[in-house]
Structure 1
Amino acid sequence: MTGSVLAPAKVNLTLHVTGRRADGYHLLDSIVAFADLGDRLTVGPGDGLIVTGPFAAGVPTDDGNLIRRALALAGTPRAVALDKRLPHPAGLGGGSSDAAAVLRAVGADLSPEYLLTLGADLPVCMGARAARMRGIGEVVVPVPLPPLAAVLVNPGLAVPTGRVFAGLRTADNPGHDALPEGDAAAWMDWLAAQRNDLEEPALALAPEIAEMLAALRAEGAAVARMSGSGATCFGLWPDRGQAEAAAGRLVRSGWWGRACTLS
């Protein structure tokens, strides 16, 4: 096929680290949502990868790229042009979402076990809709999350995922209780009481994250939290108009920020 597809930004609204396996992999319990913004991929006949866009720098185009690895795993070579619009690495699942988008575009149907060889975020990114992700990423169950107005903010720095996990005080934390029922307000109340267990160790590595969280709260975010292993943070607002207004005030020198809808 030939066509353009969106690889939406993945946002961990919660991220509870609930254990660690003998092989070193951490067990997670996370509510994941996807934004109505992200990278854009054009897929066509042939073989190869070119990368353009505001965040193209540093993105590999060889077989180390997850897009190339995913197509090779599926046995479906394609020519792909990636318009890289999301900062990276950023805790937004950009590479995983790119790979999942191209797999959807070619109609590849890989098992979670195969997808996990590409990364823990691949199974949830294949669905590209709100879900509860557990285990090491292999257990993905859709959740009835209503659309949430949000702002994503990134300070333009990378936080090494391995060092963030290494800084955890404990890997044995509680998972989620019963998920909420109801509208966006009910979900935001519930989300406000949840956690990202990686936020504390990430703050120790990148104090700028605390500055972003404080800025989101100062603008009236009902929930402000780091996504994934950082450094992107998100804030939630009652409606898109308020999120758009806050985003305009939050963008400053060196920061990337966008309003979006998560679902």
Structure 2
Amino acid sequence: MSRLTTTAPAKINLTLHVTGRRDDGYHLLDSLVVFVDQGDRITVTPSPELRLTVTGPFAAGVPVDDGNLVMRAARALAKARDVDRGAAIVLDKHLPHAAGIGGGSADAAATLRVLAAFWNVAPLPGDHPAVLALGADVPACLAAPAPLRMGGVGELLQPAPALPDCALVLVNPRHDTPTPAVFKALECRDNPGMKALPDGMDVDGLAAWLNQQRNDLLAPARVIAPQIDAVLDRLRSLPAVKAVGLSGSGATCWGLVADMASARQAARAVQIGSSGWWVAPAGVLRAGAVL
């Protein structure tokens, strides 16, 4: 193959319950995860060696060496599958950095998928040690686009019950909330898990269920980035928004709406008077969606 391209969809935590911490310091989570049609793009073409180029609106400051999970994922796949060929990888970066939407992990997972096809080798499963070594979110991102319930430190994955057709408006105030700093500021690390997610909900039922759940990282994240409160308040003020929350460790917030038309309208409303915020309407992907 001379060229392959895939999408690295953003990973959105609609809930994130911190239920404990292991002796090695990793936190135990219980989270409903969805993937959306906003994301980065990974393109690979032939090259005698592995090399990475970063383009796109969020390319500034993104490393092109092994400091980037894309390169580490490529090297991990080559080692695990005994590949001695190279590839020129282009990461087209459209997701903001350190934003709580799995950007780096999604990029790594997309790289594993597309390079396995490009090199004609068996893909690595999500529980492969080389995948787990890349980070707690990579197994979930490798399972995209199906909605998931994510447990353990991120490695315990099970399909979520079917969700209704819905969409999100994503808003990031462009303030970094580094995950280690947010977890360090977390006061309570032994919290209850999610309530059972019912089958057959409509979007209003999903909103009502989400409003009974939590993101336990919201409190420490809003201390690091007080702008999160302004974003959540703005989303709550919009009539079409049925539920709001923080994704991951932030600072990206989401608002649940019924459909993409509502998401686009809400995004336009947020953009008025909020210069500098990253705002994106996003469709929630279903199992089987083409990446």
User: TM-score normalised by the shorter chain: which range applies?
Assistant: over 0.9
Query: Normalized against structure 1, the TM-score is what?
Result: 0.96
Q: Residue 100 of structure 1: SS of its match in structure 2?
A: helix
1:1-263 map, 5 Å: 1=1, 2-46=3-47, 47-75=50-78, 76=83, 77-107=86-116, 108-112=123-127, 113-128=129-144, 129-143=146-160, 144-182=162-200, 183-220=202-239, 221-251=241-271, 252-263=274-285
Amino acid at match of 1:147: D
Q: Residue 260 of structure 1: SS of its match in structure 2?
A: strand
C-alpha displacement of 1:148 = 2.0
Question: 2 CA distance for matches of 1:218 and 1:184?
Answer: 18
Q: Residue 213 of structure 1: SS of its match in structure 2?
A: helix
C-alpha displacement of 1:111 = 4.5
Q: Check the 8 A contact 2:168/2:282 in 1, yes or no.
A: yes
Q: Percent identity?
A: 52
Question: Once the two structures are superposed, what CA deviation does each residue of 1:170-192 show, in whole Å capped at 9, x if it has no partner?
Answer: 10000012211113332222112
Q: Residue 194 of structure 1: SS of its match in structure 2?
A: coil
C-alpha displacement of 1:117 = 0.8
Question: 1 CA distance for matches of 2:156 and 2:192?
Answer: 17
- For structure 1, the 5+ residue unaligned runs are none
Question: 1 CA distance for matches of 2:261 and 2:126?
Answer: 40
Q: Residue 150 of structure 1: SS of its match in structure 2?
A: strand
How many residue pairs end up in the alignment? Answer: 263
Question: 2 CA distance for matches of 1:239 and 1:95?
Answer: 27
Task: Name 2:289's counterpart in structure 1.
Answer: none
Q: Check the 8 A contact 2:242/2:256 in 1, yes or no.
A: yes
Amino acid at match of 1:7: A
Q: Taking structure 1 as reference, are residues 80 and 147 closer, same or farther at Cα in structure 2, changes over 3 Å only?
A: farther
Question: 1 CA distance for matches of 2:126 and 2:37?
Answer: 26
Q: Residue 202 of structure 1: SS of its match in structure 2?
A: helix
Question: 2 CA distance for matches of 1:42 and 1:198?
Answer: 34
Q: Check the 8 A contact 2:165/2:258 in 1, yes or no.
A: no
The structure number with the bigger radius of gyration is 2
Amino acid at match of 1:170: C
- For structure 2, the 5+ residue unaligned runs are 117-122, 286-291
Q: Check the 8 A contact 1:133/1:139 in 2, yes or no.
A: yes
Q: Taking structure 1 as reference, are residues 79 and 150 closer, same or farther at Cα in structure 2, changes over 3 Å only?
A: same
C-alpha displacement of 1:161 = 1.1
Q: Which piece of structure 1 moves more, 24-33 or 154-163?
A: 154-163
Q: Check the 8 A contact 2:264/2:281 in 1, yes or no.
A: yes
Q: Residue 187 of structure 2: SS of its match in structure 1?
A: coil
| Root-mean-square deviation over aligned CA pairs | 1.2
Q: Check the 8 A contact 2:177/2:221 in 1, yes or no.
A: yes
Question: Once the two structures are superposed, what CA deviation does each residue of 1:114-153 show, in whole Å capped at 9, x if it has no partner?
Answer: 3121111000000112100000011011112233211000
Question: 1 CA distance for matches of 2:41 and 2:5?
Answer: 7
Question: 2 CA distance for matches of 1:146 and 1:102?
Answer: 30
Amino acid at match of 1:140: L
Query: Normalized against structure 2, the TM-score is what?
Result: 0.87
Question: Once the two structures are superposed, what CA deviation does each residue of 1:93-127 show, in whole Å capped at 9, x if it has no partner?
Answer: 00100110111112321452331211110000001
Q: Which piece of structure 1 moves more, 128-137 or 235-244?
A: 235-244
Q: Check the 8 A contact 1:181/1:187 in 2, yes or no.
A: no
